[in-house]
Amino acid sequence: MHIKSFADFWPYYVRQHARPRTRMLHAIGSVLAVALVAVAFAVNLWVLLLAPIIGYAFAWYAHFFVEHNKPATFGHPFYSLAADYRMLFLMMAGRMDDEVERHLRLPAETSNT
């Protein structure tokens, strides 16, 4: 798959996160990472080092042991980070399940419309 933009990447990302448990583990890691950033600025900047470790630990566990695929971070780190938080916001709005359903239903080459 040739990815030239975030719009190209998003459908791929959504399909890589088809299982609800994968999405939930990502959400936990993302929220903990944000909390650690806040703690770092309030308490000690060294805590910043833990934010990506904790965030990615939950996400990578989900990919390797729940979804059984390769994390998108390896090929597209910046799009992946942006997509993690877009997914989190859609989950909080109660719209991510519909997004997954829509992208799983459409063929891969037409799902970015």
- 36 occurs within a structural domain: yes
Residue 57's contacts (CB-CB under 8 Å, 6 or more residues apart) are: 29
CA 8/CA 62 separation, integer angstroms: 23
Total count of domains within the chain: 1
Contact present, 46 and 40 (Cβ < 8 Å): yes
- 88 occurs within a structural domain: yes
CA 109/CA 44 separation, integer angstroms: 46
Q: Tens digit of pLDDT per residue, the chain (113 long)?
A: 689 999 999 999 999 999 999 999 999 999 999 999 999 999 999 999 999 999 999 999 999 999 999 998 889 999 999 999 999 999 999 999 999 999 998 776 544 44
The radius of gyration of the chain from alpha carbons, rounded to an integer in Å, stands at: 15
Domain assignment of residue 67, given as a range: 30-105
The pair of three-digit structure tokens given for residue 100, joined into one six-digit string = 């997954």
Residue 4's contacts (CB-CB under 8 Å, 6 or more residues apart) are: none
- 110 occurs within a structural domain: no
- 20 occurs within a structural domain: no
- 12 occurs within a structural domain: no
Tell me the residue length of the chain.
113
- 23 occurs within a structural domain: no
- 14 occurs within a structural domain: no
Q: Give the count of alpha carbons within 13 A of 94, CB side only.
A: 0
- 66 occurs within a structural domain: yes
